[in-house]
Amino acid sequence: MKKHNFSAGPSILAEEVLDQAASAVLNFNNSNLSVLEVSHRGDDFNHVMNTAKLLVKELLNIPQEYEVLFLQGGASLQFYMSALNYMGTHNTGGYIDTGTWSSKAIKEANKTGRSITISSSKDKNYNYIPKDNYISTPIDYLHFTSNNTIYGTQFHKFPQKYNLKLPIICDMSSDIMSREFDITNFDLIYAGAQKNIGPAGTTLVIIKKDTINFNKLPSYLNYHTHIDKGSMFNTPPVFSIYVCMLTLEWLKNKGGINNISEKNNAKANLIYQTIDNNPLFEGVVEKEDRSIMNATFKLKEEHAGLKSQFENICHESGIIGINGHRSVGGYRASMYNALEIESVDTLCQIMNYILKKS
């Protein structure tokens, strides 16, 4: 039975991508070699790396003054690395705290300098996006998380570099490639691949090349090392980058970000309307800040008895990955690019069916 994969990440990939990836594990580009055993210095992989970078630039409309990198260590290493590279005169980073991932970024910033929390939605278990981001202290940069996988909130309007006159750093791990945005608002964007870019194992970094080069930084932790070496400072995660390339090609063939964004909106509208129209369920976060990628919802307390019935039918229908994160509870439907609206529809039909039967 086909699975409806709502996993939060690593997450669903397109079937075409998986077919091509499996075939390249056996025979890559008709070389009679597996993509797993070719040199990263060879022409075939060079072509993969360049194509993947070009596709990122093309899909996101990235101007020349930015570089695209494929690194390792996930957003978790970027939390520290971004602070290490962007702390300047004030030795202080400004952070908008919208949940677990922002908090982790703050923790790592404090390992290399100081952090100031500009605003936070911690008072309501992060169920909204703070709108008032007044900055009263001198800071070197502003950092925020564009989409909060765990809570299901998303910035629908970004803090503006033009107003703030500050470098803006954004963790876009869970919504990059899902909607159009103006890259020139940002100095640094990073994103673990395992949502909309490809499989786990690589981290996409988009960086304005004129960032200060602090020569004394450890080589791996200095963005300029990777800019200078074209993401080949060390042996790159060859297969992960290859599957990212395939996924980006798939996205381009699907009509690019504009097109996928419409599809993503349709999926989100469907599930949120179902939640709002179904008296058994309720959404977890403020409506205006709802994430297009991760819809969080619960059975209302008075209907908690329907839990196992709902979950059993989901299980029988091939739905996986909808358990909410332990810090929120309830359910979370992650609807990344590769998820078809039919999967969302299956979930919604089950929610409606439970209502009819109850």
Number of residues that bind a second copy (CB under 8 A): 64
Cα separation of 305 and 299, whole Å? 9
The amino acid at residue 346 is T
Of 74, 152, 283, 330, the one binding a second copy (CB under 8 A) is 74
Q: Judged by CB, which is closer to a second copy: 240, or 294? A: 240
Q: Reply yes or no on whether 229 is catalytic.
A: no
* Ramachandran area for residue 329 (φ above 0: left; ψ -120 to 50: alpha; else beta): left
Which of 140, 171, 175, 187 is the catalytic position? Answer: 171
- By the rule CB under 8 A, 239 interacts with a second copy: yes
Of 200, 270, 306, 355, the one binding a second copy (CB under 8 A) is 200
Q: Are 133 and 124 in contact (CB under 8 A)?
A: no
The amino acid at residue 152 is G
Q: What is the nearest approach in angstroms of a second copy to the Cβ of residue 17?
A: 8
Q: What is the nearest approach in angstroms of a second copy to the Cβ of residue 38?
A: 6
- By the rule CB under 8 A, 37 interacts with a second copy: yes
- By the rule CB under 8 A, 326 interacts with a second copy: no
Q: Reply yes or no on whether 195 is catalytic.
A: yes
Q: Could you tell me the maximum CA-CA distance found in the chain, to the nearest angstrom?
A: 66
Q: Judged by CB, which is closer to a second copy: 41, or 357? A: 41
Which of 195, 250, 267, 289 is the catalytic position? Answer: 195
- By the rule CB under 8 A, 300 interacts with a second copy: no
- Say if residue 236 is preceded by a cis peptide, omega within 30 of 0: no
Q: Reply yes or no on whether 104 is catalytic.
A: no
Q: Judged by CB, which is closer to a second copy: 17, or 118? A: 17
- By the rule CB under 8 A, 324 interacts with a second copy: no
The catalytic site residues sit at: 101, 171, 195
Binding site for a second copy (CB under 8 A): 1-3, 5, 7-13, 18-19, 21-23, 25-26, 31-34, 36-40, 72-77, 79-80, 104, 107-108, 111-112, 192, 194, 199-202, 216-221, 233-240, 243, 318, 320-321
